[in-house]
Amino acid sequence: MVRILSDHWYTVDLLRDAIASQVTATFLNGVSTAAPALDIEIVHIDASRDTIRLQDLYGRFDNPEDIINGSGARLLAENELENLNYLAKREYREIKLYEVEINDETMPFFEVTLGPARYDSRTMGAGEFAAFFLWWNLARAARNSILLIEEPETFLCSYIQCGCSPKTIERPQKAHLKRFEQS
């Protein structure tokens, strides 16, 4: 699955099981092609574009039921709640995740309880929603996939950026994710 990235390509050098290889992913009209023999899913995530697009879309609805439209809520587990509390520098009491279908894509919609307040993705701050959106994409990444994340710090205040730095997020190792940077 690739978020809309038009007519672009990336070449990625891989070292897997002590064997070096190179994969070129071409994105043509939002569709990715990669070396199928390597069984690698390549996902492009553009937090700056996708979060604005989703919040704009969600904001058009007065009632969250019109967005959720029968999708079941998943109450985040304690470790997931702790992770998002750390990333967003908040103390949420509860977070519900709905995976909703929008234009043939699965996207996240969140309902949170923070102290006595309850709100959802429509009214979250841009940085808060961006942190949730990135967390959701990382949490659902397939094993051995490559994530190309455009400007992950977009909308995140410097305080939250510290929580999102690779040195402070323990989830990539637990999810069998590896980090690399563009050169």
Helix, strand, or coil here: 121? coil
% of the chain exceeding 90 in pLDDT? 32
Q: Would you say residue 28 has pLDDT above 60?
A: no
From the list 108, 100, 161, 93, the residue with the least C-alpha distance to 139 is 108
Mean pLDDT, residues 144-159 taken together: 69
Mean pLDDT, residues 124-146 taken together: 86
Extended strands (E) in 68-154? 74-75, 92-102, 105-114, 117-120, 146-150
Q: Would you say residue 57 has pLDDT above 60?
A: yes
What was the pLDDT predicted at 94? Answer: 97
Give the pTM. Answer: 0.74
Rounded to whole angstroms, the Cα distance separating 57 from 121 reads 10
Rounded to whole angstroms, the Cα distance separating 6 from 31 reads 8
Q: Is residue 99 within 8 Å of 107, Cβ to Cβ?
A: yes
Mean pLDDT, residues 85-111 taken together: 91
CA geometry: angle 46, 51, 57, nearest 5 deg: 130
How many CA atoms lie within 13 Å of 138's alpha carbon, on the beta-carbon side?
A: 26
The domain spans of the chain are 65-137
What was the pLDDT predicted at 10? Answer: 63
Q: Would you say residue 67 has pLDDT above 50?
A: yes
Between strands 31-33 and 117-120, the pairing is unpaired
Q: Would you say residue 161 has pLDDT above 70?
A: no
How many CA atoms lie within 13 Å of 14's alpha carbon, on the beta-carbon side?
A: 21
What was the pLDDT predicted at 22? Answer: 65
